[in-house]
């Protein structure tokens, strides 16, 4: 049952958020966790991979029939992220203070889907790229000790909606001559397999490096970074998968980690449509990497048959400059300003009240709606172990 809803206006975002200057603190890793090759949770960096460029041209098709694909339909909530935070707090002997704890993907939506597409301000895009994106996110706010005025917001995606959207996308027939969604999804994982090593380059054998095209593609194993950051005055802890590291982790905690994000995309057409389509992809690349503090994005440009012909190394911080010098179809500072404004508004709307809330935005809605679903509890978003730990500390 839904009741008591508030709305955040999405109209005129460029006019409203262009001239703000919300500072954002560089994300700093505070913890990490892994999933092994069977997708079992592990604390630590056991599944961290090391970038080493593949040999070109690289065919992304072989091995599709043996792909060990992770089928994620069950709702994992925030369990792995909160288990990692619990372990860190027990080790350090103090709580991780934050206004919001969530996955990186939820903040990517705030920077990308919710802020740009519905308002149509992504210049000249709406006629070229129809959008069905909806932000249906559950939020639980909990005060762990009644005598303390400390509140935390935990945001996760609506799992049922996510599964329905994925089924819809994969059910759509491909354009004539175009590959299926399943195959294109596989191409991305194949590119990752061709581009990483399980050990640093100088510790890997020649056979391990050259045998990567023959490895079975398996996306069960993941390395996830947990970072602390800040949007203006709002503190956030984000967790998200990182594809690889360029070299090794620095000894000093405050030094930037040279993470690498791996992407594949079709070589864009050399016309305005192709440029606009590429800038839209760069928006997502930038938002994903920026939020976790990933400084480098490696893009494998493929043809329509899944053959990577060239690789481009992109500096995450320079992507907004690149777009500005191109068609100038989006503005990074507006994205940050919007996300900070929305999150601050959300904090004020909830106003320190316990319960479970839903954040919703339809495909063409000019606003984001926030509904209060339950006046108590946390909608199964939080594991019992985390709630017990935070209650006793």
Query: 393, 387, 372, 392: which is closest to 79 by C-alpha?
Result: 387
Q: What is the pLDDT of residues 102-135, one digit of tens each?
A: 999 888 877 765 444 433 333 333 333 333 334 4
CB 135 within 8 A of CB 368: yes
Q: What's the pLDDT band for 364 if we cut at 50, 70, 90?
A: confident
DSSP type of residue 120: T
- Tell which wins on pLDDT, 119 or 143: 143
Report the length, in residues, of the chain. 393
The predicted structure's pLDDT at residue 139:
52
Would you call the peptide bond into 57 cis, given omega within 30 degrees of 0 as the criterion? yes
Cβ neighbourhood burial of 194 (10 Å; 0-12, 13-18, 19+) = buried
Task: Tell me how crowded residue 189 is: count the other CB atoms within 10 A of its CB.
Answer: 21
Q: In this structure, are residues 34 and 44 in contact, taking their beta carbons and an 8 Å threshold? A: yes
pLDDT tens figures, 300-322: 999 999 999 999 999 999 999 99
Which sign, positive or negative, has the C-alpha torsion 85, 91, 95, 99? negative
| CA 243 centroid distance within chain | 12
Helix (H) or strand (E) holding 88: helix 79-92
Domain extents in the chain: 3-392
Strands laid side by side in the 259-266 sheet: 58-59, 307-315, 296-302, 259-266, 244-245, 50-51, 196-197
What per-residue confidence (pLDDT) applies to 71? 87
Residue 178: pLDDT band with limits 50, 70, 90? confident
Greatest Cα-to-Cα distance within the chain, rounded to the nearest angstrom: 63
Band (pLDDT 50/70/90 cuts) for residue 54 is very high
- The answer to whether residue 60 scores a pLDDT higher than 80 is yes
Categorize the per-residue pLDDT at 191 as very low, low, confident or very high, splitting at 50, 70 and 90: very high
Query: With contact defined as beta carbons under 8 Å apart, do 85 and 96 qualify?
Result: yes
| Cα–Cα distance, 254 to 266 (Å, whole number) | 37
Contact 224, 32 (CB under 8 A): yes
| pLDDT at residue number 4 | 59
Q: What is the dihedral of CA 35, 40, 44, 50, to 10 degrees?
A: -30
Model-wide pTM > 0.85? yes
Residue 130, pLDDT score: 31
Strands 41-43 and 196-197: unpaired
Percent of the chain whose predicted confidence (pLDDT) is above 70: 87
């Amino acid at each position: 049952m839904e009741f008591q809803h508030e709305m955040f206006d999405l109209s005129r975002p460029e006019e409203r958020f262009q001239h703000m200057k919300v500072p954002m603190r560089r994300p700093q890793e505070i913890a990490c966790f892994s999933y092994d090759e069977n997708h079992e949770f592990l604390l630590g960096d056991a599944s961290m991979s090391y970038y080493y460029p593949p040999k070109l041209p690289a065919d992304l098709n072989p091995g599709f029939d043996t792909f060990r694909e992770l089928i994620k339909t069950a709702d994992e909530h925030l369990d792995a992220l909160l288990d990692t935070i619990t372990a860190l707090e027990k080790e350090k002997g103090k709580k991780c203070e934050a206004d919001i704890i969530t996955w990186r993907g939820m903040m990517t939506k705030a920077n990308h889907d919710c802020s740009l597409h519905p308002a149509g301000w992504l210049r000249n895009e709406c006629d070229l790229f129809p959008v069905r994106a909806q932000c249906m996110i559950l939020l639980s706010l909990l005060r762990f000790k009644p005598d303390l005025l400390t509140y935390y917001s935990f945001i996760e995606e609506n799992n049922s909606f996510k599964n329905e959207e994925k089924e819809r996308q994969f059910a759509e027939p491909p354009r004539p001559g175009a590959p299926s969604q399943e195959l294109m999804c596989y191409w991305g994982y194949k590119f990752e397999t061709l581009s990483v090593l399980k050990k640093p380059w100088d510790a890997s054998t020649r056979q391990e490096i050259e045998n990567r095209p023959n490895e079975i593609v398996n996306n069960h194993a993941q390395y996830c970074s947990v970072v602390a950051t800040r949007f203006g005055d709002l503190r956030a802890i984000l967790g998200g998968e990182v594809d690889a590291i360029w070299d090794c982790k620095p000894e000093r905690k405050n030094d930037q980690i040279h993470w690498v994000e791996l992407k594949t995309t079709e070589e864009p057409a050399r016309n305005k449509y192709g440029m606009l389509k590429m800038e839209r992809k760069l928006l997502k690349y930038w938002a994903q990497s920026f939020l976790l503090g990933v400084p480098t994005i490696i893009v494998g440009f493929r043809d329509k048959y899944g053959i990577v012909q060239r690789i481009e190394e992109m500096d995450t911080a320079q992507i907004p400059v690149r777009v500005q010098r191109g068609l100038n179809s989006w503005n990074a500072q507006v994205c940050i300003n919007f996300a900070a404004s929305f999150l601050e508004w959300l904090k004020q709307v909830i106003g320190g009240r316990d319960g479970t809330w839903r954040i919703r935005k339809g495909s063409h809605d000019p606003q984001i709606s926030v509904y209060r679903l339950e006046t108590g509890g946390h909608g199964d978003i939080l594991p019992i172990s985390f709630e017990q730990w935070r209650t006793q500390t």
